[in-house]
Structure 1
């Protein structure tokens, strides 16, 4: 039995093993050692105030315990006003952002738009994606002042970069046979878009739009921390006053709304995709 096994192994040869990323063993160990040394040096540069950490742990404990007894009543007017403002900002920015994203996505699809239009639309998408929402919100708050207008403009701007990019990529990867068949029948450009492109990308557009609605509500709570309206401003005030029971109540409401949006968006995406 051992002889036959030896013969088989001799004929088939050794099993194939994936070669390492770095061929030389000494170089691999050198890179690994350098990485460990870098982590140690980076950790040594971090200044940790352990007394502040201890105080923070005590506050964190109080905040976690506040979830067992959240206060929905003492500042109920401010809480529900902030929630309503966040919902208004979310819906308005999503509608405006989606409406602007669709023509930009058509222009950013290389198989639909000429090169100059393509470059301009891709530039708009790149600028929107390069600027993080909180940075845009701080800039707009400095321009327009505190309030929901800055949050609305920020989320509309962010929706353009998110939705236009994904929709443009979906248009570029669509089935060209159906679109070319519509064009070959003598259809105008608008008819070609309506009958050749739109049926292929509409399920994806609906799914992305609902998903972006979910994102915008979560972002609206964050933007309120810098004065861009929404429930985030009320949450920030509760933290500043150490009203952890009120902050816990606000966070529970936000979690409930986000979960409802998540389940509803999942249901919508599963039906249209």
Structure 2
């Protein structure tokens, strides 16, 4: 019993270390920017409360994963929102403790010249789940209603065709047995501006900025109108949009995960008791000494 308790504490400590590493925020930011961002959020969620709730929700995600795998369910979750709205952050926390063979993330690059000539939805279809899988789309076919429309990569006729097609496409997915959930992460103009500044000054996050991201600042109002049209024409009873207020990153993550868990009627799955088998010892076996050059240097 004492050993089990020690192992439990060790697992919790290691888990919290992992959480802290994943949640590392603002460590390399100039003091003025970090201070300004804290002033914008005077009522932060206490770190202890956040981690406690995150681990609790992640334990429920494991139950959801087991249920999906056991019953061969198919789940698609779409994450959309403005650049820097927090989509990647919540996806990381969802997948952090799950089996990548069951739960996978899809983040497609810009379409190739060949893909541009295909049926618009064609390049997304191969990534849809089989039975027992959950697929998280970090951006999705809704690129056509957002960045492609605003940046002029799609004509108005193509956008109109998309709006006519997408409700029926999604109804087909639902009729096929896919549980389809769509989230829009919503942040304010000021919040996005600050997050972009933080990325510019954080060498660990500069890779997240692209010329397209910077254009999204210039075309804020165009993106707003495109978002409103998208909600009006693609929020259907079979697959409605859910809006996640995203100015507070930590609360947004917890709220989104909790909401997702509430949408799916998962139940506990009984597992066989796992016992560690005894190691087989061969008295004639002698372990060879491997050359030192094969080992990674122990710098730490």
TM-score range, shorter chain: under 0.3
Which protein has the bigger helix share? 1
Q: Give the TM-score normalised by structure 1.
A: 0.26
Which protein has the bigger strand share? 2
Q: Give the TM-score normalised by structure 2.
A: 0.24
